[in-house]
Structure 1
Amino acid sequence: MKAMILAAGLGTRMRPLTLTTPKPLLRVGGKCLIEHHIERLVAAGVREIVINHAWLGEQIEAYLGDGNRYGARIRYSAESEPLETGGGIRKALPLLCDQGESAFIVVNGDLFSTQPLADLLQINPPPGGAHLVLTANPEWHPEGDFALAANGQVSVDGDCRLTFSGMSVLTPELFDGVDEQAFALAPLLRQAMAAGRVTGSRLQGYWEDVGTPERLQALDRRLRAGDI
């Protein structure tokens, strides 16, 4: 199974740190944020990684190179204009499914987690489906995103509402029939949920949406102190 790391955001919430440095290259715990993802994917057995980029993307390619020093093969999907999450993934599909593979892992580049990624390698959603890793609602997002039922099905509404962690297993067929170049992923997931094609699991371990300089600094302190 291949994986994609989403790294094309402008990082506006992280300014001024991201005025000259792309968000994935901000350092936390002694290494760049995106390196944590790459190392955890490789440790789980994923060697083929696709990274999309836009803002200051040439810095990302120059720093990570072909991925050889991480034990991975990294390929890049450069975006000349904002494509949003859904559009960015669809543009990269030829790299993710170039040998007829189906499902692939997607990880948001602006998160940190100790979720065991090897667990995701065993998940094979039906064509047009997806599997989402959901986590407890943080204080800044108390209403959550989706509901997780006891049987593992994910729906838009329900009693147990959780927050989408930014880690998922997607199928290329999820993007069939979309004509736009730039579009969000969430509407496609909702359509698949209505058709009963989305499952989910609770996140295991630590998770943080590294969305602000304050969260980045707090995470850096925890990692350096050995608290995570």
Structure 2
Amino acid sequence: MKAMILAAGKGERMRPLTLHTPKPLLVAGGKALITHHLDNLSRTGFQEVVINHAWLGQQIEQHLGNGEQFGLEIRYSAEGEPLETAGGIVRALPLLIEGSDGWFLVINGDIWTDFPLGQLQPPANPDCDAVLVMTDNPAHHPDGDFHLGPDGVLSACGADKLTFTGISLLHRRLFAGLDDSAGKLGPVLRNAMARHRVQGVQHHGQWIDVGTPARLTELDRLLTEGKLPS
């Protein structure tokens, strides 16, 4: 299975840090955010990774190269002008599904987590198009995103919603009929949820949405002090 790291955002909430540095290359615990993901993917056994980029994307390619330093093969999906998340995935689909059964892993580039990626496996249910990793709601997102039912099926409505971590296992079926103008991933997922085609798993470990300079500083402190595994 191949993996994709979403790294094309402009990082506007992280300014001024991202005026001259793409968000995935911001450093926490002595390593770029995207390097934490690549190290995790390599440890898990992934071999091929696709990274999309737009804003200052050449810096990402120069920093990571072909992935050899991580024991990976990295291929890039250059967008020029940033596409939204679903559009970016559709643009990269030919790279992701080449030689595969249609399933691939997607990780947001601006998160940190200790979730064991090896736990995400294609579901037995042939009518499932996506498996999302969910977690408890952080203070900055108290209302959550989706409801995880006792049967493991996710829905857009319902009490006790959890937060989507930005880690998912997706099938090419999810994007049938879409092109790279598809927009954000959220509406695509909600459409599939309405047809009961999305499952979820809950992560009870560590997860941080590194969306602001303050959260980046906090992540750096926790990693530097050894309070999180690096």
TM range (shorter): over 0.9
Partner residue, 2:177: 177
TM-score, structure 2 normalization: 0.95
- For the 8 Å contact 1:108–1:167, the answer to whether it is kept is yes
- For the 8 Å contact 1:145–1:164, the answer to whether it is kept is yes
| Counterpart residue identity of residue 217, structure 2 | Q
Partner residue, 1:83: 83
Partner residue, 1:119: 119
Q: Deviations over 1:61-90 (max 9, x none)?
A: 001000011000000000012210000000
What is the RMSD of the two structures over their aligned residues, measured on CA atoms?
Answer: 1.4
> Kindly tell me: are residues 177 and 33 of structure 1, through their superposed partners in 2, closer, same or farther at Cα, counting changes over 3 Å?
same
Query: Hey, what's the Cα distance between the residues in 2 that align with 1:159 and 1:100?
Result: 37
Moved more, 187-196 or 68-77: 187-196
Partner residue, 1:70: 70
TM-score, structure 1 normalization: 0.96
- For the 8 Å contact 1:149–1:160, the answer to whether it is kept is no
Query: Hey, what's the Cα distance between the residues in 1 that align with 2:98 and 2:221?
Result: 41
> Kindly tell me: are residues 180 and 24 of structure 1, through their superposed partners in 2, closer, same or farther at Cα, counting changes over 3 Å?
closer
Query: Hey, what's the Cα distance between the residues in 2 that align with 1:10 and 1:125?
Result: 37
Shift of 1:123: 4.2
> Kindly tell me: are residues 42 and 53 of structure 1, through their superposed partners in 2, closer, same or farther at Cα, counting changes over 3 Å?
same
Runs of 4+, deviation exceeding 6 Å: none
Whether 1:24 and 2:24 are equivalent positions in the alignment is yes
Partner residue, 1:47: 47
Shift of 1:122: 5.2
Query: Hey, what's the Cα distance between the residues in 2 that align with 1:41 and 1:123?
Result: 20
Partner residue, 2:94: 94
Task: State how 1:115-194 maps to structure 2 within 5 Å.
Answer: 115-121=115-121, 123=123, 126=126, 129-179=129-179, 181-194=181-194
Specify the SS of the correspondent of 1:34: helix
Specify the SS of the correspondent of 1:161: coil
Shift of 1:126: 3.5
Specify the SS of the correspondent of 1:106: strand
Q: Deviations over 1:28-77 (max 9, x none)?
A: 00110000000001111111100000000000000100001100000000
Partner residue, 2:14: 14
Q: Deviations over 1:128-154 (max 9, x none)?
A: 610000111111111110000111000
> Kindly tell me: are residues 93 and 162 of structure 1, through their superposed partners in 2, closer, same or farther at Cα, counting changes over 3 Å?
same
Partner residue, 2:220: 220
- How many percent identity over aligned positions? 55
Query: Hey, what's the Cα distance between the residues in 2 that align with 1:191 and 1:63?
Result: 37
Query: Hey, what's the Cα distance between the residues in 2 that align with 1:47 and 1:124?
Result: 23
- For the 8 Å contact 2:103–2:122, the answer to whether it is kept is no
Query: Hey, what's the Cα distance between the residues in 2 that align with 1:46 and 1:100?
Result: 13
- Gaps in structure 2 of 5+ consecutive residues: none
- For the 8 Å contact 1:127–1:173, the answer to whether it is kept is no
Shift of 1:121: 3.5
